[in-house]
Structure 1
Amino acid sequence: MLTEYPIIHTNIWDAFWAVPVVLLVVLAAKWLFGVRSSWLTTIATVAALILSIFISHRGNLSAGIFMGFFYSGAAIGVLYSVKQSYLAYRAR
């Protein structure tokens, strides 16, 4: 039975390259392909899971899935916080 937490070996460089790559994929999907805003979180999650499972944490599926969701959340958090900050600045 799976009662133990997965051991995830990660470092700060994951945040410095994985999150910006996911953010660029999301922005490219929005600007180049005209994807609606409601699909951006799905695109970020799929891109982050692919990046994390096959590149960043290759050989450790549980760590890849776990960190993929973190990469996705960080990229979407950056995107929407910048958007809301811009809208608040414009409304002022």
Structure 2
Amino acid sequence: MDFPTIHTNFWDAVIAVPMIMLITQLIKVFFPIKKVYIPTIALILGLCISIFISHRHHLIAGLIMGWFYGYAAVGSYASLKTTLLAFRKQK
């Protein structure tokens, strides 16, 4: 099996991941969705952005990078939330 060469650049991560974080936060504000489904929504958004925008000419690369975009957004949000809660506790 020949694995695809995935070309990504700095802007994919700098734009895609914060955009996924922003869209998931807007979805949480405007729609009554349980918090347990938010990581799945972030993953779906990451896959959509990667497959249809960033890597639209190669499905496998789009799936792999979309997975990374979605879970990078989830991890970044969790880390930011944990840091802010710890900072507030110190005050």
The answer to whether the superposition gives a TM-score over 0.5 is yes
Residue matched to 2:30: 32
**Mapping for residues 1-92 of structure 1, pairs under 5 Å:** 3-92=1-90
Superposed CA deviations along residues 7-36 of structure 1, whole A, max 9, x for unmatched, are: 112111101111111111111111121322
Q: Percent of aligned positions with the same letter in both sequences? A: 44
Question: 1:91, CA displacement in angstroms?
Answer: 2.5
What is the RMSD computed on CA atoms of the aligned residues? 1.1
Question: 1:55, CA displacement in angstroms?
Answer: 0.6
- Equivalent AA in structure 2 for residue 68 of structure 1: G
Range moving further from structure 2, 73-82 or 61-70: 73-82
Question: 1:4, CA displacement in angstroms?
Answer: 2.1
Superposition misfits of 4+ residues, deviation over 4 angstroms: none
Look up the SS of the partner of 2:5 in the other structure. Answer: coil
Unpaired stretches in structure 2, ≥5 consecutive residues: none
- Equivalent AA in structure 2 for residue 29 of structure 1: I
Question: How many pairs are equivalent?
Answer: 90
Look up the SS of the partner of 1:25 in the other structure. Answer: helix
Tell me the TM-score normalized by structure 1. Answer: 0.90
Q: Write the distance in 2 (CA, Å) between the matches of 1:34 and 1:9.
A: 37
Unpaired stretches in structure 1, ≥5 consecutive residues: none
Tell me the TM-score normalized by structure 2. Answer: 0.91
